[in-house]
Structure 1
Amino acid sequence: MMSNRRRFLRRVAAGGLTVGTLGTVGLQGVEYVTGGPRESQTTPARALVAGSLLVLADDVAGADVEAHGSLTARNLVVDGARDPDVLALADPDLFSGITAETTLFATNALVLAYDPESRYADAIADDWATGLAREGVRVGQTDPKADPLGYRTVLAMRLADDRGLAAAELLDDSLVFPETALMRTLEAGKIDAAFVYENMAVEHDLPFVDLPPAIDFSDPARVDTYATVSLDLPDRTVRGAPIRYGVTALTDAGAAWADSLATDRDRLRDHGFTVPDDYPLVQSIE
């Protein structure tokens, strides 16, 4: 069943929203650097964030924001290619080796967004699995080697397989895009549907289908179920787990921005994130 969500209203600073595009050798896709709304003339912090946080992060004053898939962002820091003041990622495990703790500030759900103008829109909305299985449907996803959205998509289809639904094969002919480009590609009608986070669909005002809680990584009570699937990546093995976002100030200059990102619960919910009652919550990183 399709979820009806409130229309997301973008707030644009008086001076306008500026988005620049950089090409970087050795990185997959395109990265975005945004200035965000300005409240003072002080030097902004340098924020490196998950691609799914880009729209939200630009709505938080006080930082220049660069976005990539979380795994790519982590590797940029570890390899010394970036030295941000604050780091916000879509999987707290990726902070390992960077910081001893992170602040959990939001959760999310994996959903299937679709183009309402697609010839397959009704079929996808009625039954997402059979809709995606129809000949000619173009499905988008992100790269499991670049971001948690990519590996969670693969893991979700494996969970669905375990429940008797032949879902993994739905990704056999999928088209892979950078996390920062996936929604623009869907909005442009170049694909019919894409596995995304709920906040991404809300922010872009696109219809989406809720996946079953047993496979969407939204329910902390299902942690044992999620953990039954895993995926081997070049430098790690990832296991299914509830989706959680973490933020850490790596310098004093990033502290205020990190605090603003993590503590404005209304803003997080307006952007389509879920905020548990006990968040923000500091978590130790092994």
Structure 2
Amino acid sequence: MMRLRGREYGAHETLVMAIVNRTPDSFYDKGATWDDGPAFERVRKVVSEGADIVDIGGIKAAPGEEIDADEEKRRVVDFVAAVRAEFPDLVISVDTWRASVGRAACEAGADLLNDAWGGYDPELAEVAAEYDAALVCTHTAGVTPRTRPHRVRYTDVVADAVSYTVGLAERAVSLGVDPASVLIDPAHDFAKNTWHSLELTRRLDEMTATGWPVLVSLSNKDFVGESLDLPVGERLTGTLAATAVCAWQGARVYRVHEVPETRQVLDMVAAIRGVRPPARTVRGLA
């Protein structure tokens, strides 16, 4: 069972988390939702397309201009409050590694803290417990936020990801976070090369076997681009292929740029697995 914003989700339900960047320099949209107006339009669009969660972030993952906590809060907190006012039932996630930003976001109405840098600020889990928020525990092997991997090595990247994320999840629960509201994330591309991300995708069932709900962030990532030798704007098909593999192996939440395409893939995989009926069945029956 998974619980977000008081709602419980069954073992076979999959959720689409739509990305909303409050940055001027996102690798994917190049600042398209930097201003409030376009950002609100993005939220309204993805909600109309069926997004279950919106994930609002104020700092791009890659190296770049230093953004302090006050600036990150300026980019995120008031926007979270406005989204909450317009969409009272929507699950709102905030992508941050800072406890101070997480606290301000929860006070503004956030339901989930997406700790994309895997416990770098250990107080973030305490904030999740304090505000009864959900928490994503991510495998980044303790690296400094916004640093690119350089000749990173693992004896077994999947075993490391399982051990690291489960350790973070168990710590969060010990601090008071609802066990049903803790997710783990293998963190494709983060502290990894393409071989590592491909192996994590291939062996994702070892993470889902832990019993913790698994979130994957595959959308337009470099491991897709390098596998197919394609730039950012041409990685949708590869992203959806990776999505299907992760869905077959039981991942529960998908952090994405393209909502309808992802939803169709997830529904199709669920139909093949036999956990979701076809939308209609008339062929050979009428």
Q: TM-score, normalised by structure 1?
A: 0.28
In terms of fraction of residues, the more helix-rich structure is 2
TM-score relative to the length of structure 2: 0.28
Greater relative contact order, per chain length (Cα 8 Å cut-off, separation 6+): 1
| Higher strand fraction (1 or 2) | 1
